[in-house]
Chain A
Amino acid sequence: MSLLTAIPWPTLLVLTPFLGGLLALRLPDQRARLGVGLVVTGLVLVVSAALAASFLVTHDAPPIEDLSAPLPLVAARWHLGIDELAAPFLPLTALLVVLLLVAAPKRELAGPMIPAILFTEAATIGVYTSLDLACLALFWLASLVPGAYALRESIPAGGKGRAFRAYGVFLVLGALPLAAAVVWIVSARAGSPLPFDLTAPEPALDPASQLPIFFLLAIALLVRKAVVPFHSWLPVLAERGPIAITALLISTHLGAFLASRVMLPLLPEASAEVFPWIADLALASAVYGSLLGLAQTDLRRMLGFVLTSQMGLVLVGVAEANRESLHGALLQMLALGLSSTGLLLCASQLEVRAGTTDVRQLGGAAARFPFLAGASFVLGLASIGFPGSLMFVSEDLLLHGLLGSHPIEAIGLVIVTALNGVTIVRGFFLAFLGTSRRPLGLTVPDLSTRERFVAITLAAVLLATGLTPTPLLLARERVVLALTRGSSTHAVGGH
């Protein structure tokens, strides 16, 4: 245990990719940048996986914390920690970055992209580990800036940058309410020596002042979770954005994390009052996304809407805040992170080979690229909750969690998952099977060894966790119970 406390692990996990990003910025050679990215993130992966494993072994382990003295005047402090809630997301983020660096098409990693990915990784880990709201808000903002910069840099000369506008309007503006909430909390908790502390939220906020803070946080949450009507950035980014940054922004589920780290424990009364409505909104968003997915002809845009829909389901689970739904949502965040990254990679790998992801021009790609087809199909099955995958378990838990309290919504959830399944398999059939509608270059090879490695790793992780999900569930049991109790003891209504 001394090793766990002697070294400031959370700070190291944030600093390592940040310094790696700075180093990569100074390196002119693309290959060297990639090397730095892989080494740095590989280190983060190993360390965070070891730390997360300690929570799998002991279910009541105390959080691993780094603490500094509060800053004068603002009363914020550098307070990072790894607990059961954050632990699995850290190796997940690092794993996704490693896989993206290994398998993303080279043009997707050109220019400032690798430093941007590393900065985003550092900020994302910062959000996961923050136990101080001011820290969390700063990391949240920081997680968006490198993406915006990379996106602007990658827009072709003369291009109108639709993706960039959507990104800027939604994500950056959507982060401002979070900053406003931080300011509001200072006034609401006037007199408290540590107004931003998330570990000991005392004195409790009175219910009247919870609501405005809740609404500000909710806007940040809804934008980040791409809930209708704040969703438009996601399909546009999935269709046109750089694949690695897009995958990282979508797969890390910071919105749902904000709800479970800040909103449920800090604002229990407001949560109990408003989250049921947010659950309905999220389900409506899931239905909307699944419906729009059906109408798409571009695989990447199609994925964008399916992901909008699936992120809505995650939020439904968090907002319902009962034991099964929370377990389901937390597992779904992991499963979706892995499968959506895999599918976005597959789509971009098809794009560099066929020159398009429009299914009207594709068809018959399986004959030319059998591995790409196999990888897309297996990851597609994992993403629609086929038995054996982690998503099957998470959707089953979500469904059980929802049915107890809201049977109609539960049927909505089942229909959404069915429609998303139709969209994904239809996309696969149209792109990979049948006759080819556009000649494919004769010299274009199938997946390379490293790309296969990534696809197989993702499929193996999804299968292994899907067949043995119990350790993951048990490791989360304490935090889930705390969140459930937080909302149920203070329940003032619902509908």
Chain B
Amino acid sequence: MSPSPEGSAVLHWLVLAIPAAPLLIALLLGALMMLGRALREREIVFLASVGVGVSFLASIAATFVFARGDSHAIELHYGQLYALPGHVFGLELLVDRLSIAMVLTTGVVTALVTRFSIRYLHRDPGFLRFFVLLSIFDAGMQILVLAGSYDLLFIGWEMVGLSSFLLVAFFQLRNGPVRGGLRAFVTYRMTDVGLLVAGVLLHQATGSSQLEAAFGSGAWPHASTHLDASATTPIALALLLSTIGKSALFPASGWLPRAMEGPTPSSALFYGALSVHAGIYLLLRSAPLFESTPIGSVVLIVIGALTVVTSSLAGRVQSDIKGALAYATSSQVGLMALGVGVAALTRSGWLAILVVAYMVAHAFLRTLQLLRAPSALRDAQEIAAALPDVRRGAHASSHFVPERARELLHHLAYHRFFLDELLDRALVAPTLALARAADDLERRWVATLAGLPVNEQPREPRATDAARTSTSTAPAEPRDAREKVEPA
């Protein structure tokens, strides 16, 4: 992976601009939001467009520069977040065929969706918030795909996750989006553990979390690792756990249709085009690790296949267009995961390249479909008007799948294979039950300590409630509300 000097010199700044422009704009807009500055829509649009636009143009320019050079992988160094002897958190970006394809896709789709969002969110009270989150996402996604180490990739990964669950909960006055956002966050947070653990395990195995240290010489897709299966299997499985969360693979696909509660442009950007493919990108990037562990590859293939089957069937019985598209996305992403698994098992570089092409094509198609989703009825009626003779025939499966089996499949698909319920009952409910039991014990123990009857339930007033005299249930009008606005 030796960088070519002339390419590096130009690329250095171009590649830095790709994540830095939207990041700076996100910080600026976020600071203005925190400071309570009222901005006009036109100003917000200008700033957000500058960030996304510069990133977009820089990604195009970087692609040209990279394509003209003769190096297949260039690592660019931008200092370090911190350094201790023996432990450096470096800021390295990696430009190769895989990352440049993703950078370009991210740049184009984000620019298009930003343009679309300006009209879509016109006069929405959360206009500024939306563009702050969009800029954070753009920066995070670009960091994610350009990262030269798992440490840095994790930072991008978290930024994408943050903007994702906040945009799901964008319409915060309704409970549905808030619940959906929380579900997405919990899924992300619990599965992100995998990426963190993988990064640290890799650090232990190679002394660095840099991709170069893990994969040695050879540019993607021909990179290989010198680690043996005993080291790579846990890392690969940990990475797979993260992918399951981020890319809504089996069994954690349930958050994806709920995430469609967010504004349509963000649904298109996150769950049609980019965020949902971040997991696949991670798998492709880590392909050498999977190549060296047949167990990891087989588990990946199984997870991919199960996702294809369950999401494809569940998608057929969705009653709303965005839910159906979400499941369609999930099943396609499952197919990509399966593809990565097969490519790793057979060590086929061409298949890996095919998966990248598939991913890019899918990103664009799904973005279009999701952006058109609000006009789905009109589209359907136009198609029906144009093709009046097409009748809805029986599904092809009726010829070879027995009636009972079809009913069962329909039942399962309708209930989304009970995946969320299974996860809730197997993981969430026992954890919460344990936590509540411990909390009950804790309260009894403190009550005993304080010399109170153990079963005393009413809440005693807080220490600082001395000034309060009434316990009326009237609407809360805090006593010292007016004091709050007095100058200090």
Contacts and interface: CB of A to CB of B under 8 A. Distances in A.
A432 B175 CA distance: 11
A359 to B, nearest CB: 12
Nearest to B194: A414
Contacts of B476: 353-356, 438-441, 444
A434 B173 contact: yes
Interface stretch (A85-93, A106-114, A121-129, A194-202): A106-114
A293 B178 CA distance: 20
Contacts of B182: 425-426, 429
B159 A387 contact: yes
A445 to B, nearest CB: 5
A239 B443 CA distance: 12
Contacts of B190: 418, 422
Contact of B478 (A110, A353, A415, A418): A353
A173 to B, nearest CB: 11
Contact of B480 (A105, A154, A292, A456): A105
Q: Is the interface of A mostly helix, strand, loop or mixed?
A: helix
A192 interface: no
Contacts of A422: 185-186, 189-190
A342 B90 CA distance: 30
A387 B154 contact: yes
B432 A294 contact: yes
B475 A441 contact: yes
A182 to B, nearest CB: 27
Interface size class of A (residues with CB under 8 A): 35 or more
A61 to B, nearest CB: 20
B452 A162 contact: yes
Contact of A421 (B82, B189, B460): B189
Contact of B446 (A162, A375, A378, A445): A162
A145 interface: no
B467 interface: yes
A412 to B, nearest CB: 11
B380 interface: no
B35 A367 contact: no
Interface string A145-172: 0000001001111011111111001000
A156 B178 contact: no
Interface string A370-387: 010011001001000011
B465 to A, nearest CB: 6
B484 interface: yes
B203 to A, nearest CB: 7
Contacts of A108: 464
A403 interface: yes
A451 B480 CA distance: 14
B172 A366 contact: yes
Contacts of A432: 172
B178 A418 contact: no
B202 to A, nearest CB: 11
Nearest to B437: A295
Contacts of B189: 418, 421-422, 425
A151 B445 CA distance: 21
A215 to B, nearest CB: 23
B34 interface: yes
Nearest to B157: A387
A189 B182 CA distance: 58
A107 to B, nearest CB: 6
Contact of A439 (B431, B462, B475, B488): B475
Contacts of B464: 107-108, 154, 242-243
B436 A295 contact: yes
Contacts of A106: 480, 483
Contact of B173 (A352, A364, A400, A404): A364
B33 interface: yes
Contacts of B162: 381, 386
A236 interface: yes
Contact of A371 (B36, B154, B174, B203): B36
A464 to B, nearest CB: 12
A5 interface: no
Nearest to B452: A160
B65 interface: no
A477 B36 CA distance: 40
B435 interface: yes
A452 interface: yes
Interface string B320-333: 00000000000000
Given A433-B178, A440-B475, A443-B477, A162 B450 contact: yes
Contacts of A439: 475-476
A489 interface: no
Given A106-B480, A364-B173, A288 B192 contact: no
Nearest to A447: B484
A280 interface: no
A291 B435 contact: yes
A409 interface: no
B82 A387 contact: no
Nearest to B238: A411
B81 A166 contact: no
B192 A352 contact: no
B196 A434 contact: no
A249 B211 CA distance: 43
A365 to B, nearest CB: 10
Contacts of B28: none
A295 B439 contact: yes
A387 B159 CA distance: 8
Contacts of B485: 445, 448
Interface in B164-204: 165, 169, 172-175, 178-179, 181-182, 185-186, 189-190, 192-193, 196-197, 200-201, 203-204
24 contacts: A107-B464, A107-B479, A110-B467, A160-B450, A160-B452, A160-B460, A161-B463, A166-B446, A166-B449, A291-B438, A295-B435, A327-B84, A352-B478, A353-B478, A367-B172, A374-B33, A386-B158, A386-B162, A396-B151, A400-B87, A410-B197, A422-B190, A433-B181, A440-B475
Interface of A: 102, 105-108, 110, 151, 154-157, 159-166, 169, 232, 235-236, 239-243, 288, 291-296, 323-324, 327, 352-356, 364, 366-367, 371, 374-375, 378, 381, 386-388, 393, 396-397, 399-400, 403-404, 407, 410-411, 414-415, 418, 421-422, 425-426, 429, 432-435, 438-441, 443-445, 448-452, 456, 459, 467, 469-470, 473, 477
Given A294-B431, A354-B476, A456-B35, 6 more contacts: A155-B463, A156-B463, A240-B460, A434-B178, A438-B475, A444-B477
